[in-house]
Structure 1
C-alpha cells in the first residue's frame, strides 16, 4: 500500500522536490541570498513534508485498505466511513451499485426458486401417468411389444429421476438422514428396476458382498448406485460378461466396486469424466449420453463424504469404486 500511495502522490512529491531544488539553485547562483540559511529552511520544510506525508498516508489509505481487505459479498458494513469528498463519491457509488445488485440477485433467486418448485411439481405430476402407463404395460399380452415399451418407460423414468435429484442436489445437506443401510438389499432393489433393460441386452450381475451394511443416507446412496448401474448397463454390449458388484473391507474403509466389461473410457477422458455435461471425445456422436449422470453421482458422493473413483481401459470395461467414510466421519455429517 505504501508503494501505491507514493505512486498516487508522485506528481505532488515531484512538484515539492522540484520547488526545493529550484530554491537551492537560486541561492547558489545569487550571491545576495545566503545559501546556508536557505539550506536550513529547505531541510525543515522537507522534514515537515515527510511528517505530513506519513500523517496523510494513514488518513487517506484507511478507506482503501478496507476496500481491499473486504470479501466479495454485497456487504459494505465493514468499510470505514469516507473522510474526503472523493471517498464520499466512491462510497455512494458503491452503495448504490450494491443495493441494485442485491435487489437484482434477490429477484433472480426468487425466480430460480419458483422455477425449481414448478419443475419439481411437474416431475411429480408426470410420475402419476407414468405409473399408470407401467401398470398398462404389465397387462399387455404381446411380450415383444411389452419389452420394447418397458424399456422406453424405463428411460423416461430414469431421466425424470435424474432431473429430480439434480434440482434437489443444492439443498442435499438439509435432506440427509444417516443410518445403517443394508447395501446388499439396496443394490438388489436397483438391479430389479433395471431388470427389463438387462434382459433385453442379455446382461447379468455377479454380486459378492463381504460387507452388507454401511452408514450412509439410503435415498442418496441409491441414487449414486442407480447412476453407476445405469452407466454400466448402457455401455455394455449385448450378451457381455456379467457386471460385477463387490463390497468388501479395505484398510478400515468399506469399498463398493461396480465393474462392467463395456467399451471403457479413453485415458484422455478420465480426468473429465465427472465434469458437468462432459460426454466423450472418442464417442462424441453418441446422442444418448447427457453427461449429467456421473457428475450428479460425484456431487452426491462428495456430500456423503464418499470417494468416487474410476479405473478404465478402452474396450476392456470400467470399474467405479465407492470408498465409504469411517463411521465417525459419517456421523459428523449430520452433527450427531
Structure 2
C-alpha cells in the first residue's frame, strides 16, 4: 500500500532496530515493570514518535497509510512501549496547531458517549472525568478530547504526575492504570482538529488493529517454523493433515484481519473512519483470538513456557483485543449504523467499503 522512498527506508530501519533491541530479555524486563529507557531513546533518535508529523513541524512527514503500516512492525516485534499512541497523539496535536510533544504520549480511551469536561477559571484550564485502562497512563503525557461549556471539543494535554492513578497492568504486563482527572490542570489546550472527530476510542482501535495484525503475523511465523522443524513419527508435524488444517485456518483469519486493517488505513481521516475502525477492530480482534489459540496448539506445551517467545505475542493479542473497545462493542456500533441506514442502504455500504 505504501511505497514512498522515505517509507521504505523507515520500514527497513524500523525492522532492523526492533529486531536488535526488542530482545527476549528486554520483553521480560518490561513484564516486570521496567521502563525501557534506552529503547525509547533509540526510537526517538530514529524519528519514529514523530513519523506522522509534517517535516515542517520537525517530523518525518509520513502519510497515515505509511505510518500505520509501520505500527504493524511494532506489533510484530511486540514493542513494549507506547510508540503508536505517541505517533497518533503528535499527529493530532500538530494538526491542532501545537508543537510536537516531547517524550511518550498516550491517548485517553474514551468512547463517543464519554464526556470529559473542561472548565476555565482563574486563567487555568481544568479537566474533569474518569478514565480506566489508560495505556502507560502513569508515565506518558496524556492527550484528552474534552468538551468545554459551550459544547466545543478541545484537545487537552495533561502531565502524568498531576493525575491520581490506580495502578493496573494488562495480561501482557503493560501499564493500564485508572486515572481520576477531576481538577487536573491542563498544560495546554487546542481546538480539536477534524481528525479527532471520530473520537479517541476509534483512533485507539485503529492503532490496536494494526498492532494485532503485526503480532498475528509473527505468531504465525513461529507456528510455521515450529511445524516444519518439530519431528514426530519420523517427519515434521507440519506434514500431518490435522496440523496443516489448523495452520490454514489461522492463515485465513489472518488474511481477513489484514483486509479489515487495510480498509481502516484507506478510511483513516475520512468520513467513514468510525465505521472502518469498528469493522477493523471487531474482525481483527476475532482473528487474534483464533490465531493465538492455533499457534499454541501447534507448539503444544512448548509454547506455554517462559523460555519460548510466543507468549510475548499471544498475551498482547489477548490484551489488545479488549482495549479501545472489544469485538462486541464495535459490532454493536456496526449494527446500529446498519439499522439506522435501512435495508436498502446495506449493499451500497458493503460495496463502498
Give the structure-2-normalised TM-score.
0.25
User: Which structure has the bigger radius of gyration?
Assistant: 1
Give the structure-1-normalised TM-score.
0.26
Q: Which has the higher contact order (CA 8 A, sep 6+)?
A: 2
